[in-house]
Amino acid sequence: MAEREAADRHVPVMRDRCIRLLSLGAENIRAAGHRPVIIDATLGMGGHAEALLAAEPQVSVLGLDRDPQAHELAAARLAPYGDRFRGIHTVYDRVDEVAAEELAADQRVAGVLLDLGVSSLQLDEASRGFAYSYDAPLDMRMDASEDSPDESVAELLARIEVRELSQILREYGEERFAGRIAKAIVTRRESQPFTSTADLAAVVDRAVPAASKRTGGHPAKRTFQALRIAVNEELEVLRRTIPHAMDAVAPGGRIVAMSYHSLEDRIVKQAFARRTKSSAPTGLPVELEEHKPTFTSLTRGAELPDETEIAENPRAASAKLRAVEKLMITRRTQA
């Protein structure tokens, strides 16, 4: 039941391209005499993991997610693959630690997949409070378990001051009216705390000038995005994750990252650039080994989903895929 539910609810974004990129990484690891492991660092409901396990019978998958509900659904979906799949409840910036703890002596990390942002599971579950289109408790934590150390959006809004809130809305939501919205939220909070998504969405709606509501979707969209990013520390975690993932993969292994807004994509792009370009000072006559790139890019800029996929899966519309491979001497890189 849960297996079918997860498969029906989750359509993996750019699935075939992700699988091809990671499969070639697995081929490189096998050619080097090791057993390949793919780390799906954003497991969700297991759609990409299922496709990997089906396409690559010799590959094992470690699935990381901080959301206990995701593990429950993905475990049921991936049960037919037995011990080739293991789920690990953790934040994905621990990807290098997980690799060191979980891999056998003859295994190597052939790839890390990062499908960033909020998942279909979290958006579709009204009770999680991620969406302004449902009236629900104002939560938005990716890990909403009883022992989670994270505060909910309701708790954040109960204590935050105008200046800090305005900065969050401006930086994480790229919200033009951050100051107005922040003042409206704090002013309303003084008489009544925020407890529901509908309440917050209504206050934001009233704070945004009428002329600006004619385009761009719901006026609370950017505020909800910013608050979700803030309570889950998404960008801070991502900044730590990319270099940890690049450390974890073996030579010939690959990192595939899909982002859905400019803030995520910028972090991925800059982190990849630091290791795919020479760090030698300009004008140095000989490039020393420590300055040479340790990765090569597999994508020219960011790859986008095609029109057919967007029509079939509208959530793919904003996806940007970037991929890199750790350099090794004995094999040519294949894209």
Ligand-binding site membership of 260 (annotated)? no
How many angstroms from the chain centroid is the CA of residue 302? 16
Token pair for 222 = 């950017």
Q: CA 120 to CA 106: how far, in whole Å?
A: 35
CA nearest neighbour of 39 among 24, 52, 54: 52
Query: Checking phi first, is residue 57 left (phi over 0); if not, alpha (psi -120 to 50) or beta?
Result: alpha
Alpha carbon distance 154, 140 (integer Å):
9
Tell me the CA distances in angstroms from 307 to 15, 301, 329, one per residue in order: 14, 18, 38
Beta strands in 23-121 (DSSP E): 35-40, 60-65, 85-89, 107-115
Answer left, alpha or beta for residue 155, where phi above 0 means left and psi between -120 and 50 means alpha. Answer: alpha
- State yes or no: 244 annotated in a binding site: no
Confirm or deny that 115 is annotated as ligand binding. yes
Q: Is the separation of the CB atoms in 139 and 148 below 8 Å? A: no
**Comparing C-alpha atoms, which of 244, 245, 295 is closest to residue 274?**
295
Strand 254-259 and strand 107-115: pairing?
parallel
The two beta strands, 320-326 and 254-259, are: antiparallel
The 3-state DSSP class for residue 115 equals: strand
Specify the amino acid at residue 96. D
Q: What residues have CB less than 8 Å from 92, skipping those under 6 apart?
A: 41, 42, 64, 65, 66, 114, 237, 241
Is 139 flagged in the annotation as binding?
no
Task: Dig out the tokens for 286 from the structure.
Answer: 């000989």
> Is 46 annotated in some ligand binding site?
yes
- The answer to the question of whether 92 is labelled as a binding residue is yes
Tokens at residue 240, please? 């730590």
Q: Is 8 annotated as a binding residue?
A: no
- Write out the binding residues: 46-48, 65, 92, 115, 122
- Write out the binding residues for S-adenosyl-L-methionine: 46-48, 65, 92, 115, 122
